[in-house]
Chains A and B, each alone.
Chain A
Amino acid sequence: MKHTISVLVENKSGVLARIATLFAARGYNIDSLAVGETDDPSISRMTIVVNGDEKILEQVEKQLNKLIDVIKLNDFLNVEHIERDLVLIKVKADKNSRNEILQIVDIFRAKIIDVSVSTVIVEMTGDENKIQALLNMLKPFGVKEVVRTGIIAIARGG
């Protein structure tokens, strides 16, 4: 089961290393990790996507909470929330295929942000499924590089 966990931490050097060390030492796998400052510059938010059964997740969350620099933790499982991931995809594109790629990009409401003689770079935000769908559509043209930010998430409503 995939869990998206949002962790508020002290914005200090070494905090990311503490979290990474914890996951490595206890053998938990991180699917993705995104870090950024919050509206309070002394606090950062880490959005971590972890895969594991309930028992492992319970330990992951308790262990994270045990770290001195972790202020608060939310698991978005069973919480109405929105997830977003930003992806940049470099696709092979020559004069024959460019139009078709543009159509696909259009349908997905993605953007072309760079063009060269042999490639285009596509930018899109979306959730995991939408990004996967776009990637599947672009694969036949030859995907040269994929860069993703990792998922960030926010709860709906108040």
Chain B
Amino acid sequence: MLKTGSEIFCESLLRENVKVLFGIPGGQVIPIFDKIYDYRDKIKFILTRHEQGAGHMADGYARSTGNVGVCIATSGPGATNLTTALATANMDSVPIVAFTGQVATSLIGNDAFQEADTTGITRPVTKHNFLVKDVSELAKTIHEAFYIAKTGRPGAVLVDIPVDVQRATTEFVYPETIDIRSYKPVYTGHLGQIKKAAELINSAKQPLLYIGGGIISANASTELFKLAEKIHTPVTTTLLAIGSFPPNHPLNLYMPGMHGNYAANHAFQNCDLIIAIGARFDDRVTGKLTAFAPKAKIIHIDIDPTSISKNVQVNIPVVGDAKSIINELLKYVKKKNNKEWLKRISEWQKTNPFSYKKDNKLRPQYIIEKISEITKGEAIVVTEVGQNQMWAAQFYKPKHPRHFLSSGGLGTMGYGFPAAIGAKIANPKKTVIDIAGDGSIQMNIQELATAVLNNINVKIVILNNAHLGMVRQWQELFYKRRYSAVCLCKPDGCLPSDASAKRSTIMIPDFVKLAESYNAVGIRVTKKEDVESTLIQALKIDKTVVMDFIVEEEENVLPMVPTGAALDEIIMSLA
């Protein structure tokens, strides 16, 4: 039977087991939306307020489940609005598929109304993209898009569908299997390399497991745990790997890098072997490259060959899937006891843990510590980007993988709230909390409407310091406290010499009133002693809640490795 392109679109999504679709309609996707109406019982459509929000929701959905997140937008501005979300997902290897409408094939290239070269614009920020010019190609292309998004190193894939292709008809056949001759991801690691890696591990005295987001993509946390315990090796998890190793475990060194744990950074600088798994030696992790891990040999396990020896020369590369490689590795590594090494590490850990000033002021770290305590690390925490993100990474201790979602690679402010909505839709029984700054929350605040109208009970914790805090911190530390364009509540700066004039009495915006205007619950907290009770109360409310915590304005994220410094030149406190 003949089907239209729009029907093929919906049928194909069903075959890919898509339950939720995020997006906004527009001129060049109306035929598809006409079909979405017919399929509304099978595919839930979430109407967002901005296409970027739709993209991040698909991302949060994907990160919290491992399944492909899906979003849709119209041509031109709809597509350009999606690009930040595509870049965010792609850089963090998150599987999402985005669909965009396009002007009719006869008009492409004519600068038609709402025309943009969508595949051209999104080419550098996607794993792959397609322009479907013939309806007979549509089903196969959608199948390939999902396949490419979720296999190998996952990523963002975009499918651009001109409006006449949506209307055209063809025989619908969804291909059973996929065979792309130019795309054959490697999953099984080379046995010879694995054995060499095992030898190196067996002879190492001071090994370190450096774990990146790949461990979560590969669902290999259990295998990681077995490996770490068997070879008695400390584990440092990057921003994207938080939750992949149990908190409070003696081998857990938490996050390394610029705002990372002292012990993790010192472990890098003193270890004789790095076992990197699904990590890419990002500059925020390594610090000054020439001074990075001077004594270490490096084993690098990664599914993406381009990550290997890109920044740091590797001794033993193993290309493939982390889960299967760790399982192989477990057969060849000997049970070890690195007591001496761990003793040194626990000294570092004891003397320099993540900390902050414990006084009666309302400090952001305290709030996150309380969230961790109250939720027992069972909540999915999503972060925005900046200070809030680093404090969340330092003080929230998730017990499971896929419970800490953050834009690591691109560092997209405005990611957290929509991603939290996506995560909550995917995990309706879980508590989902967005930890935000007053700056980044305003970058996608419009999605409050989406959350409230769809009864999506997410909690927003705003660490309101009236500033673009991370930039303010850099200006304080490296630019002689010349605060340029970082005050969010006054046009000419927040912090005059007169401390009493510190904050404008008028809050712009007033987040409590703002929440109420969207029919969400708004709560303001100004005192430390109210934090715990407010959080407990807010988590009980079955509504979208915005908590506006008025925190210390000049609180800094510490420790800090300044740009261009080595990891052991870490600053613990400011004199």
Q: Are B306 and A63 in contact (CB under 8 A)?
A: yes
Say how far A83's CB is from chain B's closest CB, in angstroms: 25
| Given contacts A59-B310, A68-B148, A70-B182, A21 and B123 within 8 Å (CB-CB) | yes
* Binary contact track B170-210/A, C-beta < 8 Å → 1, others 0: 00000000001111000000000000000000000000000
Q: Does B127 contact A (CB under 8 A)?
A: yes
Q: Are A65 and B305 in contact (CB under 8 A)?
A: yes
A70 CA to B119 CA in the complex, in Å?
17
Q: Is B491 an interface residue (CB 8 A)?
A: no
Q: Which of A3-55 contact B (CB under 8 A)?
A: 9-10, 13-14, 17-18, 21, 25, 55
Contacts of A10 in B (CB 8 A): 182
User: How far, in whole Å, are A59 and B307 apart by their CA atoms in the complex?
Assistant: 9
Give every chain B residue within 8 A of A100 (Cβ-Cβ).
Answer: none
Once bound together, how far apart are the Cα atoms of A17 and B305, in whole Å? 22
Closest chain B CB from A114 CB (angstroms): 35
From B120, B131, B181, B310, contact of A71 by CB (8 A): B181
Q: Are B305 and A66 in contact (CB under 8 A)?
A: yes
Given known A-B contacts A68-B148, A70-B182, A18 and B305 have beta carbons under 8 A apart? no
Contacts of A25 in B (CB 8 A): 124
Q: Which residues of B contact A109 (CB under 8 A)?
A: none
Asked if B131 and A14 sit within 8 Å, CB to CB, the answer is yes
B148 A62 Cβ-Cβ under 8 A? no
| A127 adjacent to chain B (CB < 8 Å) | no
Most chain B beta-carbon neighbours within 10 Å: one of A59, A63, A68: A68
Residue-wise interface mask of B (295-330) relative to A, using a CB-CB cutoff of 8 A (1 in contact, 0 not): 000000000111011100000000000000000000
Quick check: is B430 within 8 A (CB to CB) of the other chain? Answer: no
Q: Which residues of A contact B180 (CB under 8 A)?
A: 68
A123 at the interface (CB under 8 A from B): no
Q: How far is the CA of A23 from the CA of B347 in the complex (A)?
A: 47
B146 to chain A, nearest CB (A): 13
Contact of A14 among B119, B124, B310 (CB under 8 A): B119
- Is there an interface contact between B124 and A68, defined as CB atoms closer than 8 Å? no
Within 8 A of A (CB), among B127-173: 127-128, 131, 148
Which residues of the other chain, A, contact B181 by a CB distance below 8 angstroms?
A: 71
Q: Chain A's nearest CB lies how many Å from the CB of B89? A: 17
Min C-beta distance of A96 to chain B, whole Å: 51
Whose C-beta in chain B lies nearest to the C-beta of A24?
B124
Contact between A21 and B124, CB atoms less than 8 A apart: yes
Question: Can you give 26 A-B contacts (C-beta < 8 A)?
Answer: A9-B182, A10-B182, A14-B131, A17-B120, A17-B123, A18-B123, A21-B123, A21-B124, A25-B124, A55-B309, A58-B309, A59-B306, A59-B310, A62-B306, A62-B308, A65-B305, A66-B304, A66-B305, A66-B306, A68-B128, A68-B148, A68-B180, A68-B183, A69-B182, A71-B181, A71-B182
- Which 6 A-B residue pairings sit nearest by Cβ, starting from the closest? A71-B182, A62-B306, A68-B128, A62-B305, A68-B183, A25-B124
